[in-house]
Amino acid sequence: MSEFTLPLNWQDDYWEKIDFTDVVEVYGKLREDFLGGGKSSMQLPEPSKAMVAQTIKEAHDRSIEVNYLLNTTCISNLEFTKKGYRQVRKMFDWLSVIGVDAVTVAMPFIAEV
């Protein structure tokens, strides 16, 4: 059996247009958040936090895990400031509340948090 991981496109009909039979994980992120990601935010759709939470629920209803991307490589050392550290914790707290199964990070300090 093949297993696949697919990107989220945040379109309303996402779950109806794809055969998710062999999909074990989907991944994506908000267009903009404190940590950013590997793509320019201009290239990404703009889901709301409510849409992200609903998508996670839909994925879980289908027994699919969700991986949230926090794969930026630099935030100008803000992660080492008190305010920056609080923002990182706030992001992880929100991801925990909405039930994200995994987080992809590129920065070692963020991985430690």
When pLDDT is averaged across residues 72-97 and rounded to a whole number, the result is 81
- Cβ–Cβ under 8 Å, residues 25 and 68: no
Tell me what pLDDT residue 39 has: 54
pTM, whole model, 2 decimals? 0.82
Domain map of the chain by residue range?
4-112
Q: What is the pLDDT of residues 26-63, one digit of tens each?
A: 999 887 665 565 555 556 567 788 999 999 999 999 99
- Look at the chain and count its residues: 113
CA–CA separation, 55 vs 16, rounded Å? 13
The order of strands in the sheet holding 65-70 is 4-7, 23-28, 65-70, 102-105
Q: How confident is the model at residue 74 (pLDDT cuts 50, 70, 90)?
A: low
